[in-house]
Amino acid sequence: MNTRDWLLADSPASRWQANAGRAYRVFTALMRNPLSVLGGVIILVLLLTAAFAPWIAPYSPTGQDLTSRLLPPSATNWMGTDELGRDIFSRVVWGSQITLTIVLLVALISAPLGLLVGAVAGYFGGWIDRILMGFTDVFLSLPKLILALAFVAALGPGINNAIIAIAITSWPAYARIARAETLTIRNAEYISAVQLAGGGPIRIIVQHILPLCTSSMIIRVTLDMAGVILTAAGLGFIGLGAQPPLPEWGAMISRGRTFILDQWWVATMPGFAIIIVSLGFCFLGDGLRDVLDPKSEGKS
């Protein structure tokens, strides 16, 4: 029996085999869609760039060279140089680390928070549900960016506060999804079976409900990442996110604003990086949705 047969077995012998088989099926389905492959490649390149930034970037991201200020793109400076003579390409490469950090931290804070709130509300129902969801709905009906701006204003500018602010404004969407999923699972026979066997609510939520919410959660988080990147860049652009001299893409665009009329590359180049990475998450998220949740196509 070869690996493929083992993965595609109709009756897996262990939970590990079942999980691996499912992952394999999702993977092969994704590989059939050229756009999700492209998205995956983009994310992979982002990861590699962030990991190997010191080796990829030809110059230091902060090394100033006032004699070579505002040079247009050329063979030595692929994306030109900025007003302090720094190589824009090197800064974009280093900036991938910041973007990746923001994206990962926001996902790690907001997704579990949303999951927990939604699962608890859905499982217990009644007053707990009403209070939690009322709270969630208020957050959902407010403009995310404005809310994030106000939070950063109160917390003070900086990348950590930007991450906190974005996470605070992102969890409600996940809570909605988790609640909807929990409601459909809650009355299933096997949940009753666990209850009869003496399983408490914590055990049921953590071991039996949360794992079933993960696939819709992964889709949603991936699709939302583009928005997170845009919000973070927006905060950086306004001057409330990452502070100079950090090579954050939004902040770089903000610096380049002054020169946009004559030295267009200073502001434009980091923008392309933002667009490509956001598109990567969109493509991958779309592909994942088609594979994992074909019914909800188009209803974002």
Partner 1 sequence: MAIDQQSAPPSPGPTLAHRRVQRMLATVGGFAITLLLTFLGLLAITFFIGRVIPIDPVLAVVGDRATQAQYDAARIAMGLDLPLWQQFISYVGKVFSGDLGMSVSTGRPVIEDLSRFFPATFEMATLGILIGCVIGIPLGVTAAARQGSWIDQIIRVVGLLGYSVPAFWLGLVGLALFYARLRWVGGPGRLDIFYDGLVSPVTGMILIDSLLQGEIDIFWNAVSHIILPAAVLGFFSLAYIARMTRSFMLDQLSQEFVTTARVKGVPERVVIWRHAFNPIRVPLITVVGLSYAGLLEGSVMIETVFSWPGIGNYLTTALLNADMNAVLGSTLVIGAVFIVINKVSDVLYRVLDPRAR
Interacting residue ranges for partner 1, rule: CB under 8 A: 134-135, 137-139, 141-147, 149-155, 226-227, 230, 233-234, 237-240, 250, 253, 256-257, 260-262, 264, 267-268, 271, 274-275, 278-279, 281-283, 286, 297-299
N residues, the chain: 300
CB nearer to partner 1: pick between 59 and 237: 237
CB 221, min distance to partner 1, A: 14
Give the CA angle between residues 110, 115, 121 to the nearest 5°.
125
CB nearer to partner 1: pick between 9 and 109: 109
Distance (Å, whole) CA 295 – CA 300: 12
CB nearer to partner 1: pick between 25 and 297: 297
CB nearer to partner 1: pick between 23 and 138: 138
CB nearer to partner 1: pick between 5 and 262: 262
CB 226, min distance to partner 1, A: 5
DSSP string of 67-123? GGTTPPS-SSSTT-B-TT--BHHHHHHHHHHHHHHHHHHHHHHHHHHHHHHHHHHHH
CB 275, min distance to partner 1, A: 5
Distance (Å, whole) CA 117 – CA 125: 12
CB nearer to partner 1: pick between 52 and 272: 272
Minimal CA–CA distance to 174: which of 233, 231, 235, 109? Answer: 109
Distance (Å, whole) CA 258 – CA 233: 17
Do 44 and 37 form a contact (C-beta atoms < 8 A)?
no
CB 85, min distance to partner 1, A: 21
Distance (Å, whole) CA 224 – CA 219: 9
CB 47, min distance to partner 1, A: 18
CB 206, min distance to partner 1, A: 29
Distance (Å, whole) CA 279 – CA 257: 23
